[in-house]
């Protein structure tokens, strides 16, 4: 099986990608590439006539930026993952410090955390839109709403161009895996990402959180600005009466930002440096996790570390390392 999962950022795609990979790895080797930045890895596999089971998660923003469909016709199974744009706006906000964690200083992060804490104390005091604007001013990544709308519009276009199975994140979050089971023909369930190099991505895994975060201004913007996407994927209009009066849980807000941004900075430093820095078993496990996600650079480093006798079997077996080595050679 050749499976492509195409999704916008913060739509739960990492969880679904790992669930699909686990399901396909049950009785065979499943190779994967996590978020290829350009179409050439897919082209190399296609040209090589790669016949093993393969899954990839492609951010729709990369399709837009590269002006390519990443050889979508090569895949025999395609999943289009969508999520309520209102929840996307909240999740995008809280993930901003993790996008490029080494591009801003501690002071900017502290200011970002302060503004999230203020929102938690008084949810109606400031809109999610204004919080995004303040994050822009702090230099904590950037978000252009016109580009964001174009990204979501690309999803609408893809559905009419290729044979996609549309999966709503809301179903997955509610424990309904029937759509995925139908696509894969396998039993599918949630996976634990706590020890993965992408552990920083997972936050709450729920839906409808926008009701605690949104203001009337946010609702009006999301309904009007993303009308085409909402209508295409069945997200009904809502009003201010849908907002909750309840509090925002700091564990999944400011505390999440503090906790995960530190983890992300440490991982970014480690995964971006030469292999000499992979010394502990925890570091090697992080390296193996990244290699399993199809990074040719990290596959090579893992092979080197294994040759040096630094990779315990408890982390990854020799047989799997050899399989990854062959896969990395195709990609390279």
Separation of alpha carbons 215 and 314, rounded Å: 49
What domains can you pick out in the chain, each with its CATH number? 2-84+147-184 (3.40.50.300), 85-145+203-263 (no CATH), 274-331 (no CATH)
Is the confidence at residue 160, as pLDDT, over 70? yes
Of 109-123, 132-146, 174-188, 274-288, the poorest mean pLDDT is in 274-288
Max avg pLDDT among 244-258, 260-274, 305-319: 305-319
Confidence of residue 29 (pLDDT cuts 50, 70, 90): confident
The whole-number average pLDDT for the span 289-310 is 91
Q: State residue 275's pLDDT score.
A: 47
Separation of alpha carbons 82 and 103, rounded Å: 29
Cβ–Cβ under 8 Å, residues 244 and 211: yes
CA end-to-end span of the chain, whole Å? 22
pTM: 0.89
Confidence of residue 122 (pLDDT cuts 50, 70, 90): very high
Among candidate residues 33, 17, 16, 20, the one with its CA nearest the CA of residue 70: 33
Which residues are within 8 A (CB) of 138 and not within 5 positions of it... i.e. 6 or more apart? Answer: 104, 108, 111, 112
CA atoms in the 13 A half-sphere facing the CB of 99 = 15
Determine what percent of the chain falls in helix, strand and coil, rounding each to the nearest 5.
55, 10, 35
Output the average pLDDT for the chain: 89
Separation of alpha carbons 297 and 312, rounded Å: 20
Of 183-197, 281-295, 312-326, the poorest mean pLDDT is in 183-197
Confidence of residue 27 (pLDDT cuts 50, 70, 90): low
Q: State residue 197's pLDDT score.
A: 54
Confidence of residue 318 (pLDDT cuts 50, 70, 90): very high
Separation of alpha carbons 140 and 257, rounded Å: 12
Q: State residue 200's pLDDT score.
A: 53
175-206: pLDDT as tens digits: 999 999 999 999 998 887 666 655 555 555 57
């Amino acid at each position: 099986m050749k499976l492509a999962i195409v999704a916008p950022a913060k739509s739960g795609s990492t969880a679904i990608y790992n669930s699909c990979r686990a399901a396909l790895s049950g009785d065979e080797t499943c190779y994967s590439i996590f978020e290829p930045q350009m179409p050439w890895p897919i082209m190399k596999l296609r040209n090589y006539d790669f016949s093993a089971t393969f899954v990839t998660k492609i951010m729709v923003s990369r399709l837009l930026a590269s002006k390519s469909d990443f050889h979508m016709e090569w895949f025999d199974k395609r999943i289009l993952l969508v999520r309520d744009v209102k929840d996307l706006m909240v999740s995008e906000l809280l993930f901003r410090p993790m996008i490029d964690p080494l591009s801003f200083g501690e002071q900017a992060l502290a200011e970002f955390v302060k503004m999230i804490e203020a929102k938690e104390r008084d949810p109606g005091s400031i809109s999610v839109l204004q919080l995004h604007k303040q994050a822009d001013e702090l230099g904590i990544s950037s978000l252009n709403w016109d580009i964001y709308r174009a990204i979501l519009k690309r999803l609408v276009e893809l559905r009419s161009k290729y044979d996609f199975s549309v999966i709503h994140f809301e179903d997955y979050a509610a424990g309904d895996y029937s759509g995925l089971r139908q696509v894969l023909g396998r039993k599918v369930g949630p996976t634990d990402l706590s020890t993965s190099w992408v552990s920083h991505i997972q936050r709450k895994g729920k839906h409808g959180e926008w009701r605690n975060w949104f203001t009337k201004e946010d609702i009006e913007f999301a309904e009007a600005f993303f009308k085409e996407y909402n209508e295409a994927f069945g997200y009904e209009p809502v009003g201010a009466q849908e907002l909750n009066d309840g509090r925002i849980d700091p564990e999944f807000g400011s505390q999440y930002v503090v906790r995960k941004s530190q983890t992300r900075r440490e991982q970014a430093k480690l995964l971006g440096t030469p292999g000499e820095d992979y010394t502990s078993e925890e570091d090697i496990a992080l390296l193996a996790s990244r290699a399993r996600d199809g990074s040719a650079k990290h596959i090579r480093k893992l092979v080197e570390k294994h040759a040096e006798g630094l990779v315990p079997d408890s982390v990854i077996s020799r047989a799997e390392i050899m399989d990854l080595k062959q896969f990395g050679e195709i990609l390279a």
